[in-house]
Chain A
Amino acid sequence: MSREDRVAGDEPVTDGGTVADESTGTGSGGSALARLRDREDFVVIASAAALVVFPFLLIDVLGAIGDVIGTSIGGYAGLPSLVLIYGIIVIGFNLLLGYTGLLSFGHAAFFGSAAYSAALFSQVVPSPILMIVAGTVVATLLAWPIGFVSIRRSGVYFAVLTLTFGQALYFWALGPGSWLTNGDNGFSGIEAHGLFVGALPLDAQLIPVFDSYTVMYAFASIVMLIAIWVGNRIINSPYGLIFEALGENEERVEFVGLNVFRYKLMAFVISAVFAGVGGAMFTIHEQYIHPTTALYWIQSGDFVIMTVLGGTGSLVGPVFGALVFEYVANVVSGVSLPVIGSIGSLWRFVLGAVFVFIVWVFPRGIYGAFADLGARITGGGGDGEEPAAADGGEAE
């Protein structure tokens, strides 16, 4: 997509500051730290630094701690990439839920259609980048009509409409569409060649000692950085500000004279693009796709859980949600605790309980809770500095 050329063309250093300064919503505190946090190059560089140490922390450090305390709490080599893939999706999902205030229960449709498109495309050209392009294009084309219809209704009806379209696609993939999707058997053994026309296999190691730094991880990191950059650019632009305004009060936006429908549709399509990129990458990473993992509505629910766990209303908050979700699903599920014993299949229960707790006590999610805590410690009086769009909505 054109997004990648744009990154190659201009380094995000150029005009970051001016755009961010115009936004009044975030970080108007005026302190040097707040101003730094708003700078686009800072966001990207800080994210890049975090991405470099992330697998080391997740696998090697946690693994070493696990060795000491006797339970394995470190991740496996593929986990960091998986977290990033979901992270990319929920950055986009949060643009819809956290900023525009639209709760979609049908994003599995875009995730899944992109995953299947990438899988089918790999049989023609097994290039990972082209697979992502193909998947994203299909997801975007699908999001347009679904969004066009669903946006016309708000609230519950919007959630139900997106859900019905997603479920219709799921049952289509299982039944009548099985000539294309392979039905209940799914696709397995999907091979993507390495990057640079196969020169760099995706499972090759970048750094000899640390086996979590694979080419796949580097690839996912680059896409993640692009996603963060684009997300940051959107929410700090006047366009993104309208998304936020829509989340807070739709009527007011309409009275200003803006075309609410168009902005909501764009928010929907943009979030679907992110889901499409993530879906295609999921296929490349897992090399396996099935209607239940890709298209079933529980998958949409998982996006919702990740986003809310991490925290709506901030750019990278949901990524923490994706991390917690995948960590619980893949690592905690294998942990054996002293009293309770093996957690095993209880992981969804643990996650559900954590989720309810977060919704109840910290409506702004884990990230929001930490931000509040930080603000309290530094005495910045950060209360309501960054009102979450999700609960600023109805001030009745």
Chain B
Amino acid sequence: MLLLQSEIASILLNGLQQGAIYALLGIGLTIILGTMEFLNLAHGALYLVGAYTGLIVFQETTLSNGFLYSQGITTIGFGGGFIAALILVPLVGFVVGLLMERYVAEPFYDRPETDQLLVTFGLALIVQEIVRNVIGGNTFQSIAPSTMFGVNVSQPISLPLVGLFPSWRLFIIAIAFVVIGLTYLAIERTDFGLVVQAGTRDSEMVRLLGIKINRSYSLVFALGAALAAFAGLIGASIQTISPQIGTERALLPAFLTIVVGGAGSVRGAIAGGLVLGVIISAMTQTYSQWAQIVLYLFVALMLIVKPEGLFGSMEVGE
């Protein structure tokens, strides 16, 4: 009985960690889809940018052939390399998002949604190939630091029920949920969030009320991009990094997440991400061969039975 309990506990914990990444991706995709009715197939590319930016920042600040080392600084302590990445990566994502909104998304707001899908699909292809040709197609090891704020995070720690669990992953879960919580508050509790929320319901009406929604559009896009890049950094700290991860580990899961949660809903993206995270962690722990299949079939079933998702409205994305 205790064995079963500990198994469930570890499934939930792993699911929480995977679900956090899905939720981060899903929130970004869903607010862009909801507010602008713009479908961004390049969302995975932002994850990719985040992962590789994180990799570069981490390498340059910690390795003996990195930039800081060449300046004579051999140690910055407190897991500084990763902390730097935690700040820089979302910033890079934010800027890339702003540029994407201006130069890729905006010209396509009035075009049919298939054109939006196609151009962002092409963009994703381009970003992936740039990464492959500039940085290389080889696989990099994950970039988890050994210390964080002076705390050793490389050792597993013993948790009640779960048993030994990598403490780095606990840290990841904590920080991801802090970011998710802040995003949630920003959208639920601030004026900016109010505009975004209203925009997901009826952007035409918001414009009629005299609110400059175009500026909000840029911010929403950039916020979504920053979240995707941040998800990429987190993903890069626990899994290997290669040019394919943008589509395989980010784009498809992000879509599944908002399908389950309901397009346009932040709450839905969080819930959807957690549901999918728990499903995949449960399947991986029991019948790992079937994990991906069950994931996709679950989403198909969801689309058939409850097409509006857990918290979505039918109108968005249809």
Interface residues of A (CB under 8 A from B): 97, 101, 103, 149, 152-157, 159-161, 163-165, 167-168, 171-172, 175-176, 297-298, 301, 304-305, 308, 345-346, 348-349, 351-353, 355-356, 359-360, 363, 390-391, 393-394
Query: Could you say which of B117, B123, B297, B299 contacts A159, with CB atoms under 8 Å apart?
Result: B117
Residue of B nearest to A166 (CB): B296
7 interchain residue pairs of minimum CB distance: A352-B125, A349-B129, A356-B122, A175-B289, A171-B292, A168-B296, A355-B122
Taking CB atoms, residues of chain A closer than 8 Å to B111 are 363, 391
| Alpha-carbon distance A363/B304, docked complex (angstroms) | 32
15 contacts between A and B (CB under 8 A): A152-B307, A155-B113, A156-B318, A161-B303, A163-B255, A168-B296, A176-B293, A301-B121, A305-B121, A346-B133, A348-B125, A352-B123, A353-B126, A355-B118, A356-B123
B114 touches A103 (CB 8 A): yes
Evaluate contact between B290 and A156: CB separation under 8 angstroms: no
Task: Give residues of chain B (99-116) contacting chain A, Cβ–Cβ below 8 Å.
Answer: 107, 111-115
Could you tell me the distance between the alpha carbons of A161 and B125 in the complex, rounded to whole angstroms?
21
The answer on a CB contact under 8 Å between A360 and B107 is yes
Annotate B283-318 by CB proximity to A: 1 below 8 A, 0 otherwise: 000000110110011011001100100000000011
CA distance A165 to B295 in the complex (A): 11
Is the CB–CB distance between B263 and A360 below 8 Å?
Answer: no
Per-residue contact bits, chain B 119-150, to A (CB 8 Å; 1 contact, 0 not): 10111011011101100010000000000000
CA distance A175 to B289 in the complex (A): 6
Q: Which A residues lie within 8 Å of B259 (CB)? A: 157, 160
B113/A156 in contact, CB under 8 A: yes
Once the chains bind, are B129 and A167 in contact (CB under 8 Å)? no
Tell me, in angstroms, the Cα distance from A170 to B137 when the chains sit together.
23
A353–B133 CA distance with the chains assembled, in angstroms: 14
Q: Known interface pairs A103-B117, A167-B252. Does A351 touch B125 (Cβ–Cβ under 8 Å)? A: yes
- Assess A391 versus B297: contact at CB under 8 Å? Given A160-B303, A349-B130: no
Q: In the complex, are the beta carbons of B300 and A161 less than 8 A apart?
A: yes
Q: How far is the CB of A154 from chain B (nearest CB, A)?
A: 6
* A-B contact number at CB 8 A: 121
Partner of A304, one of B107, B121, B296: B121
Name A307's closest neighbour in chain B (CB-CB): B118
Chain B residues with Cβ below 8 Å from A103 are 114, 117
Contact B300 A165 (CB under 8 A): yes
Q: Which residue of B lies closest to A168 (CB)?
A: B296
The CA-CA distance from A230 to B126 in the complex, in Å, is 36
Chain B 174-205, CB-CB to A under 8 Å as 1, else 0, gives 00000000000000000000000000000000
Chain B residues contacting A391 (CB-CB under 8 Å) are: 111-112, 115
With a cutoff of 8 Å between Cβ atoms, the chain B residues found around residue A297 in the complex are 247, 252
CB B219 to nearest CB in A, in angstroms, measures 23
Q: How many residues of B contact A (CB 8 A)?
A: 41
Whether B39 sits at the interface, judged by CB under 8 Å, is yes
Q: Does the CB pair B113–A171 fall under 8 Å?
A: no
A176 to B303, CA, bound (A): 24
- The interface residues of chain B lying within 8 Å CB-to-CB of A352 are 122-123, 125-126, 129
Min CB gap A348→B, angstroms: 5
A residues near B123, Cβ cutoff 8 Å: 352, 356
The main secondary structure of chain B at its interface with chain A is helix
- Closest CB-CB distance, A260 to chain B, in whole Å? 15
Find A153's partner among B117, B133, B247, B303 (CB 8 Å cutoff). Answer: B303
Please report which residues of chain B, range 217-276, place their CB below 8 angstroms from some CB of chain A when the two chains form the complex: 247, 252, 255-256, 259, 263
Residue on A with the closest CB to B292? Answer: A171
Q: Judging by beta carbons under 8 Å apart, are B318 and A155 in contact? A: yes
CA distance in complex: A97, B112 (Å) = 13
Q: Given contacts A163-B252, A349-B133, A391-B111, are A168 and B300 in contact (CB under 8 A)? A: yes
Which of B126, B256, B304 has the most chain A CB atoms closer than 10 A to its own CB? Answer: B126
Contact between A345 and B118, CB atoms less than 8 A apart: no
Partner of B119, one of A165, A172, A349, A356: A356
B39 and chain A: residue at smallest CB distance: A156
Residues of B within 8 A of A345 (CB): 129, 132-133, 137
Question: Contacting B293 at CB < 8 Å: which of A160, A175, A393?
Answer: A175
CB-CB under 8 A from B130, the residues of chain A are 349
CB distance from A311 to the nearest CB of B (A): 13
CA distance A130 to B11 in the complex (A): 48
Given A101-B114, A353-B126, decide whether A167 and B296 contact each other with a Cβ distance below 8 A.
yes
CB neighbours (8 Å) of A163 from chain B are: 252, 255
The answer to whether A349 and B292 have CB atoms under 8 Å apart is: no
Q: Which residues of A contact B289 (CB under 8 A)?
A: 175-176
Cα(A157)–Cα(B256), bound, Å:
10
Chain A residues positioned under 8 Å from B126 (CB to CB): 349, 352-353, 356
Checking A97, A149, A156, A349 against B304 with a beta-carbon cut-off of 8 angstroms, the contacting residue is A149
Closest CB-CB distance, B215 to chain A, in whole Å?
23
Question: Is the Cβ of A346 less than 8 Å from the Cβ of B119?
Answer: no
Known: A156-B317, A167-B296, A356-B119. 7 other contacts (CB 8 A): A157-B307, A168-B300, A348-B128, A349-B129, A349-B133, A355-B118, A359-B115
Contact A355 B125 (CB under 8 A): yes
A154 touches B318 (CB 8 A): yes
A172/B113 in contact, CB under 8 A: no
- Min CB distance B129 to A, Å, is 4
The CA of A120 and the CA of B74, in the complex, are separated in Å by 60
Residues of A contacting B107 in the complex (Cβ-Cβ under 8 angstroms): 360
**Chain B nearest CB, measured from A244 CB (Å):** 15
